[in-house]
Structure 1
Amino acid sequence: MRKLYSVLIICLSGILFPFCSSAQDEVFPTKDAIWNIYIPERGAMVTSHYYGFVGDTVFDALSYRKLYLLKDSVLRENPENVYVGGVRVSGKKVYMRPTDTATGKLLEEFLMYDFSAKVGDEVFGGMRPMVWGCTFENLTGSDIKNTKLQVFDVRDSELGREFGVDLKFESAEGYCESEGSDTWIEGVGSLLGLFLPPSSIPTGKQKWIDMAYGQRSALMCLKVGDKIRYKDPGCEECMEVLNVSENVVIPVTVLQVGNRRLSIQSSENNLPLRFELLSLSGQIMQSQIIREAESHIELRVIPGIYLYRLIGDKVYKSDKIVVR
């Protein structure tokens, strides 16, 4: 009984095993997810921006997935990717810890989504950057406001549980009236595009294709693994954009064998791969090059919780692991 209780505690903490993280991905995808987002830019007709998670990090003893503005539609390390911030899921809530991309300053964590909210609930979002653009950059005090989200509608749809929300920000006189409306979908995120604040133009259920380009941001497509989880009806080329032939990611399988061994299976087209085992603080503890399609790695570290990553031209894979 005591052993069963210990396993349950580990799972509930969200620290490790893949079967414990699947529930989190149902709330908000944190692995193998790419968002294709339209963001207004100087009247441009179509501007696609790709965001995705590449690796893990730790702030104040909390584990986050590292969110990047990607150079292309592949989840891999690229010096041209722009680090945006860390994202973590706790129960039905999704938090973000942004970074000012110009100064490197770590900003205060804010609440992105609360999928446990009910109609009429007021959700306090914390100090949320109220800026447009692709990344958080050159922020001043006036750009970051204490926010509150008012839930005015909750319903089930074929895409998942949908939430209608209004955003308000705090001024000297108190919380201002609605600064814009948004739709959240559990397992997808905002229909205005991931972490961006709602537009000043109320949208409700209106689709972006029905509006003039350049007026607001919009989630065009969300791909999780090999599946399209969301595609705006007005977006005709999302799948083609996300599956550029030269950027196809060939899956790599990583299995833990016993307590101190990893089995790695990959296509020869992926090779070579660089394997790295890191501490939770980011220190590389073990590294080697993988040149065979089926390889085994002996973990030469003291017992504890670690992060591993596999890096190649068309591959980036990262996860937590417990060494006993």
Structure 2
Amino acid sequence: MRKLYTVLIICLSGILFPFCSSAQDEVFPTKDAIWNIYIPKYGAMVTSHYYGFVGDTVFDGLSYRKLYLLKDSVLRENPENVYVGGVRVSGKKVYMRPTDTATGKLLEEFLMYDFSVKAGDEVFGGMRPMVWGCTFENLTGSDIKNTKLQVFDVRDSELGREFGVDLKFESSEGYCESEGSDTWIEGVGSLLGLFLPPSSIPTGKQKWIDMAYGQRSALMCLKVGDKIRYKDPGCEECMEVLNVSENVVIPVTVRQIGNRQLLIQCPVHNLPLQFELLNLSGTVLQQNAVRDGGMTIDLEVSVPGIYIYRIIGDKVYKSEKIVVR
């Protein structure tokens, strides 16, 4: 009899645990998942961001998947990846515990999604980031507010179970009116981009490609393993670097010379340009006017590390990370 129990336990372990893992993945993917998210920046150029899980961690006895803003569309450890927080799934609820990227301090856990809700439900989201266009790369404790979610629609679609949600944040006078609407899809997340708050710019039902400079955040693509789980209608390839306008070009070449210089080359008719160097918390450390088509800029930083440069002009926008040694 004891042997029979042992066999039953082994069999049930092989059946139930994969089932539980699969059920969790259907709520929200936590393994081998990469989100390609478009986030507008200065209403100018394409800013496509990749997010994915690389590794696990434990906070206060709870297990989380470690979520990174990735350097590229590959799930791998990379010193240039930016750790943005931990994500866990509990039943039909998905929680995130972000980190203050300026100090490394853990912030309060908030509710990303609740896929158990019904139309008319109110859900308290907790201390949720409320910066429009937020990438979590420069998130600080001052960017979060207590929030409440109002569910106005729940329906089944060919993409999966969809939830229409309004978001309100708490002020000294109580919860304010809706800051915008979002669509959640079970097994995918937010159509405004994984965990981002609704955009303050009305989007209606327009496609991102029909809007001038794509002035809203949007989920372009979700790839889980080798399968594409979601792809925006305006997106030709899943992990492409997207352009939102045929008339927008980036005619600037930036080349690092040694450890402390950048060579900026640009056609004369695009000058002048503004060069900015920022740290990972978003603070501007250096500004220079680019008035020469082949200008060399000395980087005025004393501490080696990863920085971000921006080049901004009338029809020019370029932003990348650089390593200063």
Query: For the structure 1 residues 6 and 102, does the alpha-carbon distance in structure 2 shift closer, same or farther, using more than 3 Å as the test?
Result: farther
What's 1:29 paired with? 29
2: CA distance, partners of 1:10 / 1:136: 40
List aligned pairs for 1:119-268, cutoff 5 A. 119-131=119-131, 132-137=133-138, 139-141=140-142, 143-240=143-240
Task: Assess if the C-alpha contact under 8 Å between 1:65 and 1:88 holds in 2.
Answer: yes
What's 1:68 paired with? 68
Is 2:56 the counterpart of 1:56?
Answer: yes
Q: Output the aligned Cα RMSD.
A: 2.4
2: CA distance, partners of 1:7 / 1:127: 43
User: Could you report, residue by residue, the CA deviation over 1:49-97 in whole angstroms, capped at 9, with x for unpaired residues?
Assistant: 1000000000011000000000111000000000000000001100000
Q: Match for 1:110: what amino acid?
A: F
User: Could you report, residue by residue, the CA deviation over 1:225-265 in whole angstroms, capped at 9, with x for unpaired residues?
Assistant: 001110000112335559xxxxxxxxxxxxxxxxxxxxxxx
2: CA distance, partners of 1:101 / 1:7: 45
Query: For the structure 1 residues 205 and 155, does the alpha-carbon distance in structure 2 shift closer, same or farther, using more than 3 Å as the test?
Result: farther
What's 1:46 paired with? 46
SS in 2 for 1:77: coil
Is 2:111 the counterpart of 1:111?
Answer: yes
Give 1:214 deviation, angstroms: 4.5
Q: Match for 2:79: what amino acid?
A: P
Task: Assess if the C-alpha contact under 8 Å between 1:95 and 1:112 holds in 2.
Answer: yes
SS in 1 for 2:212: coil
Moved over 6 A (4+): 1-12
User: Could you report, residue by residue, the CA deviation over 1:289-317 in whole angstroms, capped at 9, with x for unpaired residues?
Assistant: xxxxxxxxxxxxxxxxxxxxxxxxxxxxx
Listed as ranges, the gaps of 5+ residues in structure 2 are 243-325
Which one is further off, 63-72 or 203-212? 203-212
Task: Assess if the C-alpha contact under 8 Å between 2:69 and 2:137 holds in 1.
Answer: no
What's 2:86 paired with? 86
Task: Assess if the C-alpha contact under 8 Å between 1:98 and 1:136 holds in 2.
Answer: no
Give 1:153 deviation, angstroms: 0.7
Listed as ranges, the gaps of 5+ residues in structure 1 are 243-324
Task: Assess if the C-alpha contact under 8 Å between 2:223 and 2:238 holds in 1.
Answer: no
Number of aligned residue pairs: give it.
237
SS in 1 for 2:63: strand
Give 1:129 deviation, angstroms: 1.5
SS in 2 for 1:162: strand
What's 2:20 paired with? 20
1: CA distance, partners of 2:109 / 2:55: 19
SS in 2 for 1:238: coil
Which one is further off, 131-140 or 115-124? 131-140
Give 1:11 deviation, angstroms: 9.2
Larger Rg: 2
2: CA distance, partners of 1:10 / 1:170: 46
1: CA distance, partners of 2:12 / 2:111: 27
Query: For the structure 1 residues 101 and 181, does the alpha-carbon distance in structure 2 shift closer, same or farther, using more than 3 Å as the test?
Result: same
SS in 2 for 1:128: strand
Give 1:7 deviation, angstroms: 9.1
Give 1:207 deviation, angstroms: 2.7
Give 1:209 deviation, angstroms: 2.1
Task: Assess if the C-alpha contact under 8 Å between 1:182 and 1:204 holds in 2.
Answer: no
